[in-house]
Chain A
Amino acid sequence: MSKKKILIVEDDKDLVIALSKRLRANSYDTIYALDAVSAIQMAHRDKPDLIILDIGLPRGDGFSVKRKLDSSVHLSDIPIVMMTAQDDSTVFKRSFRAGVAAFFQKPIDDEQLLSIVKTVLGDSSPLEGK
């Protein structure tokens, strides 16, 4: 019985720590990447069950990460939850066109985030996963 692994891609280290604490407290395993390039590397290496992906990133953006993942046979199935601080409906549209599983806007509402993660990972109890 292993915990589900979530890759947090976010350039704000503090926010990464906060998210990690919150997710770990809910029995998820978390890893993180602070830029687009390391996000791809981490995804290849660690095969996460879910990626929480910020749009604004150094060395590429959230969309470029999504494209890279889609082009890889092993990674294209990983569900993506996109997040952004930008308050712009075009970003929302772009995200869905890119085929993300969910989208939310910062500042993060913890309950909302947890509920999304839970649904996207498709388990009522993350502890009972594979």
Chain B
Amino acid sequence: MKKMAKANILIVEDERITAEIIQSALKKLGYAVSSIASTRKEAVKKAEELRPDLVLMDIMLKGKMEGIEAADQIRSNFNIPVVYLTAYSDEQTLKRARITDPFGYILKPFETKELHTAIEIALHKHEMERKLRKTQEWLSTTLKNIGDAVIATDIKGFVTYMNLMAEVLTGWNKDEALGGRLNKVFTITRNEKGKRSINPVIEVMKKGEVLNLSNNLLLKNKDGEKIPIALNGAPISDGKGNIAEVVFAFRNISEKLQMEEALENTKASFRSVVEKNNDGLIIVDRNGIVRFANPKGLAFMGKNDKRYIGKKFRYPIAKVKSAEIKISRANGKPGVGEMHVVETEWENKPGYLVSIRDITDRKRLIEKLEKAHQQQIQTRDKFLSHISHELRTPLSVIHQFVTILLDELDGEVNPTQKEDLEIVLRNTNQLSMMIGDLLDVTRAITGRINIDPHLLSIAEEISKTISAFKKRAAEKGLLLHSEIQDDLPSVYADPVRIRQVLSNLIDNAIKFTPEKETIAIRASQYHKDPDYVCVEVADTGCGIDPDEKKKIFEYLYQAKKIPVPNRKGLGLGLFICKEIVFRHDGEIWVESVPEKGSTFYFTLPVYSLAKLLAPILTNDSLQRGFLTLCTIKIFPPDKPLPDQIWENIIQMVQDVLRSSLFQDSEVLLPMTNSPGPGQTFFLVANANKKETNGIIKRIKGQLALCDVLQNAGIEISVSFSKIDISREDFSAQLDQIEKKVIFCSMEN
């Protein structure tokens, strides 16, 4: 027991001496005596003023039992514990004193020990009571203010307690309810019709423990309104194992029910959206296991029941954003689905939401459209090819007869007639060029311009083209001047196409340049990118407006300013040039100062052996350390062949070699355009010795099938050597091969 340090004690004793004895005894025991009172009035007044911890009260004051009254007042007004001092231990006195709920009695005369014990017990008891009271107060405040309604009854069902919330919910106030039967204020039924009423007291008593009732429970309040509630009932034991009371706590759950209903509605509409969705929706977890599938999702996977859940999903989905997959359609026929995958959570675990849309019809439509489009293109191509063929035939007849007349095969022609015929011939040639352009444009639009790149000297092509235009330029008094950079590297380009581009540009330049001026054709290594050669055609014509600079390369574009004595043309030339240069991986552009002149530029890739061989420089070949170089020499017959036939033969050999090539391990180096007797082809292969023999056999066999070669008396030799690629100066070696290639072709 914790000793109350210096408890203050008020002594109420009408005998002065006794009071002093008590005071001195108390002081010895370590208590403080706040004061001594001798009358009832004084006692009450001092208790109020001094608020002692304890009052020692003589029952008999001035011969009357006024001590009891004083104790009663002090106790109930100030809640100060009182210990009686009495000389009387008769039943009558004690009975009266007991009513005031004293904390102890001390019989006079007393011993110090007795005094001490009585005071300590009283202080302790008071402390316990205070604590208990505090708990009770706390409990009752809690019960009063709690959100739940609380009603308590005795075991017979009479209401013993009711809190504020219970009053609110039932509509009855405490005064009406307390002491009355529970079912008067607390009528509850199980279902909405209110037919099955229940007696919760009996239910709790029957069960003997806490009872939870929350389903369909309705409380009918005083106004007859029915309120859905959740109810807890608990028996309170009397400490001896018997039920003494029953406490009910209940709450209004209509809001909760509304929320639940709303949630249920949302869920239902959401479910309906998912179930009725025309897209298949499937949830797949991280392990690829199907966790959910809507009806359409099941159908697309060819499953008709929920047994699909828990099975492995058929398609890989991790890192897939969208893909086309096979699906089952309504009639069991296969179709195409577009699958989209997004990461999601399913039952608090990461997974994937797979949505699948049936795109079979769309796909078919697109295929049909594509087919129709292709057919359209084919028809147009056929049409254009047909037209140009049909136009060419009469044109070539005109050409033939004009030349027959000009060559005077049909008799003499006078000079004036000859001039006329020259004009016819020039126009015929122009028309023939236009038809050629028309065909090229169709090819360009459909991406079918054929490029047959060679190892090409751009200088040579320029000089060839210039000489072809010499006559026309001379007629206008124009000078065609070429400036070629020394040691200009060879380019990788199609000679026929490059001549076409040069012709177009020079033709334009002649058209736009005033008489007696100079057109410069230049070629140099491109200063911005040494892997390209840049060709320029510069005129001193009327120039191009800045806003026209890009447009002039467009399809069917007509220049705004056309020199007077010229025709408009088809507007295809520069478009074809652009397409040809693009197909060579080059660029084309124009720089121009109005009234000063224009310079057209185009770039072509420098011929690079390293680039050509890159596809076969695999780990395999690097490990082997060498590539095989096959040299195929074509020797012309003793009797010289006309150029046309020789060209035919060379082209045929190239075709044969190309068509017998193994693309992934062999590269046929481009032909050089050097004329003269003989032609050498080089084939570089990623091959070992055995494979090399195979290649040589294959080449010889293929060429032996060509009767033409034998008939024309053409001989062919096939030999091979190694290119060491294990050495560090590999690129230098490539250079040497390059030189060897050029050397060989010049040697022939």
A residues whose Cβ falls under 8 Å from a Cβ of B: 12, 14-15, 18-19, 21-22, 25, 85-87, 89, 92-93, 96-97, 99-104, 106-108, 110, 112, 115-116, 118-120, 122
Residues of chain B lying within 8 A (CB to CB) of residue A19: 400
- Asked if A86 and B389 sit within 8 Å, CB to CB, the answer is yes
Min CB–CB distance A25 → chain B (angstroms): 5
Q: Contacts A12-B393, A100-B708, A119-B641 given; indicate if A18 touches B400 (C-beta within 8 A).
A: yes
Q: Given A25-B409, A101-B712, 5 more contacts at CB 8 Å?
A: A21-B404, A85-B396, A102-B644, A103-B648, A107-B399
Q: Which residue of B lies closest to A92 (CB)?
A: B651
Q: Contacts A21-B410, A87-B439 given; indicate if A107 touches B395 (C-beta within 8 A).
A: yes
Task: Please tell me which one of the listed residues B397, B400, B643, B708 contacts residue A96 in the complex, with CB atoms under 8 A apart.
Answer: B708
Q: Contacts A14-B397, A115-B642 given; indicate if A107 touches B392 (C-beta within 8 A).
A: yes
Q: Contacts A92-B651, A93-B655, A96-B652 given; indicate if A18 touches B645 (C-beta within 8 A).
A: no
Q: List 30 A-B contacts (CB under 8 A).
A: A12-B393, A14-B394, A14-B397, A14-B400, A15-B397, A18-B397, A18-B400, A18-B401, A21-B404, A22-B409, A25-B409, A85-B389, A85-B393, A85-B396, A87-B439, A92-B651, A93-B655, A96-B652, A96-B655, A99-B711, A101-B645, A102-B645, A106-B393, A107-B392, A107-B396, A108-B400, A112-B642, A115-B644, A116-B645, A120-B645
Q: In the complex, A87 Cα to B435 Cα: how many Å?
A: 12
- Asked if A102 and B648 sit within 8 Å, CB to CB, the answer is yes
Residues of chain B lying within 8 A (CB to CB) of residue A116: 642, 644-645
- Asked if B396 and A106 sit within 8 Å, CB to CB, the answer is yes
Q: Which residue of A lies closest to B432 (CB)?
A: A107
Whether B420 sits at the interface, judged by CB under 8 Å, is no
Q: Which residues from 430 to 453 on chain B have a C-beta closer than 8 Å to any C-beta of chain A?
A: 432, 439, 450
Residues of chain A lying within 8 A (CB to CB) of residue B651: 92
Whether B707 sits at the interface, judged by CB under 8 Å, is yes
Q: Contacts A25-B409, A107-B399, A119-B642 given; indicate if A99 touches B404 (C-beta within 8 A).
A: no
Whether B631 sits at the interface, judged by CB under 8 Å, is no
Q: In the complex, A118 Cα to B641 Cα: how many Å?
A: 10
Task: Please tell me which one of the listed residues B407, B644, B711 contacts residue A25 in the complex, with CB atoms under 8 A apart.
Answer: B407
Number of A-B contacts (CB under 8 A): 84
Residues of chain A lying within 8 A (CB to CB) of residue B643: 115
- Asked if A96 and B404 sit within 8 Å, CB to CB, the answer is no
Min CB–CB distance B276 → chain A (angstroms): 57
Q: In the complex, A25 Cα to B404 Cα: how many Å?
A: 10
Q: Which residue of A lies closest to B450 (CB)?
A: A89
Q: In the complex, A87 Cα to B392 Cα: how many Å?
A: 11
Whether B403 sits at the interface, judged by CB under 8 Å, is yes
Q: In the complex, A68 Cα to B407 Cα: how many Å?
A: 37
- Asked if A15 and B396 sit within 8 Å, CB to CB, the answer is yes
Residues of chain B lying within 8 A (CB to CB) of residue A115: 642-644
Task: Please tell me which one of the listed residues A86, A96, A118 contacts residue B648 in the complex, with CB atoms under 8 A apart.
Answer: A96
- Asked if B655 and A104 sit within 8 Å, CB to CB, the answer is no
Interface centre among B385, B396, B439, B707 (most CB of A within 10 A): B396
Min CB–CB distance B709 → chain A (angstroms): 10
Residues of chain A lying within 8 A (CB to CB) of residue B392: 85, 106-107
B residues whose Cβ falls under 8 Å from a Cβ of A: 385, 389, 392-397, 399-401, 403-404, 407, 409-410, 432, 439, 450, 639, 641-645, 648, 651-652, 655, 706-708, 711-712
Residues of chain A lying within 8 A (CB to CB) of residue B655: 89, 92-93, 96
Interface centre among B392, B400, B407, B711 (most CB of A within 10 A): B400
Q: Which residue of A lies closest to B710 (CB)?
A: A99
Interface centre among B385, B708, B711 (most CB of A within 10 A): B708
- Asked if B711 and A101 sit within 8 Å, CB to CB, the answer is yes
Q: Which residue of B lies closest to A18 (CB)?
A: B400
Q: Which residue of B lies closest to A26 (CB)?
A: B409
Q: In the complex, A103 Cα to B645 Cα: how many Å?
A: 7
Residues of chain A lying within 8 A (CB to CB) of residue B409: 21-22, 25
- Asked if B400 and A22 sit within 8 Å, CB to CB, the answer is yes
- Asked if A93 and B641 sit within 8 Å, CB to CB, the answer is no
Residues of chain B lying within 8 A (CB to CB) of residue A12: 393, 397
- Asked if B403 and A96 sit within 8 Å, CB to CB, the answer is no
Q: In the complex, A118 Cα to B640 Cα: how many Å?
A: 11
Residues of chain A lying within 8 A (CB to CB) of residue B644: 102, 104, 112, 115-116
- Asked if B707 and A99 sit within 8 Å, CB to CB, the answer is yes
Residues of chain A lying within 8 A (CB to CB) of residue B450: 89
Residues of chain A lying within 8 A (CB to CB) of residue B707: 99
Q: In the complex, A67 Cα to B9 Cα: how many Å?
A: 146
Residues of chain B lying within 8 A (CB to CB) of residue A21: 404, 409-410
Q: Which residue of A lies closest to B711 (CB)?
A: A101
Residues of chain B lying within 8 A (CB to CB) of residue A99: 707-708, 711
Min CB–CB distance A42 → chain B (angstroms): 22
Q: Which residue of B lies closest to A14 (CB)?
A: B397
Q: In the complex, A54 Cα to B706 Cα: how many Å?
A: 21
Min CB–CB distance B638 → chain A (angstroms): 12
Interface centre among B399, B643, B644, B652 (most CB of A within 10 A): B644
Q: Which residue of B lies closest to A12 (CB)?
A: B393
Interface centre among A25, A119, A120 (most CB of B within 10 A): A119
Q: Which residue of A lies closest to B393 (CB)?
A: A12
Residues of chain A lying within 8 A (CB to CB) of residue B400: 14-15, 18-19, 22, 108, 110
Task: Please tell me which one of the listed residues A89, A103, A110, A119 contacts residue B403 in the complex, with CB atoms under 8 A apart.
Answer: A110
Question: Shortest 8 CB-CB distances between A and B: which pairs?
Answer: A18-B400, A107-B396, A115-B642, A14-B397, A99-B707, A119-B642, A25-B409, A96-B652
Q: In the complex, A65 Cα to B655 Cα: how many Å?
A: 24
Residues of chain B lying within 8 A (CB to CB) of residue A85: 389, 392-393, 396
Q: In the complex, A97 Cα to B653 Cα: how many Å?
A: 11
Q: Which residue of A lies closest to B410 (CB)?
A: A21
Min CB–CB distance B308 → chain A (angstroms): 53
Residues of chain B lying within 8 A (CB to CB) of residue A22: 400, 404, 409
Residues of chain B lying within 8 A (CB to CB) of residue A18: 397, 400-401, 404
- Asked if A15 and B711 sit within 8 Å, CB to CB, the answer is no
Q: In the complex, A104 Cα to B647 Cα: how many Å?
A: 10
Q: In the complex, A119 Cα to B645 Cα: how many Å?
A: 9
Min CB–CB distance A21 → chain B (angstroms): 5
Residues of chain B lying within 8 A (CB to CB) of residue A25: 407, 409
Q: In the complex, A99 Cα to B708 Cα: how many Å?
A: 6
Q: In the complex, A14 Cα to B409 Cα: how many Å?
A: 16
Min CB–CB distance A51 → chain B (angstroms): 15
- Asked if A15 and B642 sit within 8 Å, CB to CB, the answer is no
Q: In the complex, A108 Cα to B399 Cα: how many Å?
A: 9
- Asked if A93 and B652 sit within 8 Å, CB to CB, the answer is yes
Residues of chain A lying within 8 A (CB to CB) of residue B395: 107
Q: In the complex, A21 Cα to B400 Cα: how many Å?
A: 10
Residues of chain B lying within 8 A (CB to CB) of residue A103: 648
Q: In the complex, A28 Cα to B619 Cα: how many Å?
A: 63
Min CB–CB distance B499 → chain A (angstroms): 16
Q: Which residue of B lies closest to A100 (CB)?
A: B708
Q: In the complex, A115 Cα to B401 Cα: how many Å?
A: 19
Q: Which residue of B lies closest to A115 (CB)?
A: B642
Interface centre among A12, A99, A102, A108 (most CB of B within 10 A): A102
Residues of chain B lying within 8 A (CB to CB) of residue A86: 389
Q: In the complex, A85 Cα to B439 Cα: how many Å?
A: 13
Min CB–CB distance B487 → chain A (angstroms): 35
Q: In the complex, A102 Cα to B432 Cα: how many Å?
A: 23
Min CB–CB distance B449 → chain A (angstroms): 12
- Asked if A96 and B706 sit within 8 Å, CB to CB, the answer is yes
Q: In the complex, A110 Cα to B403 Cα: how many Å?
A: 9
Q: In the complex, A21 Cα to B404 Cα: how many Å?
A: 8
Q: In the complex, A110 Cα to B642 Cα: how many Å?
A: 13
Min CB–CB distance B394 → chain A (angstroms): 8
Min CB–CB distance B85 → chain A (angstroms): 139
- Asked if B648 and A15 sit within 8 Å, CB to CB, the answer is no
Min CB–CB distance B413 → chain A (angstroms): 14
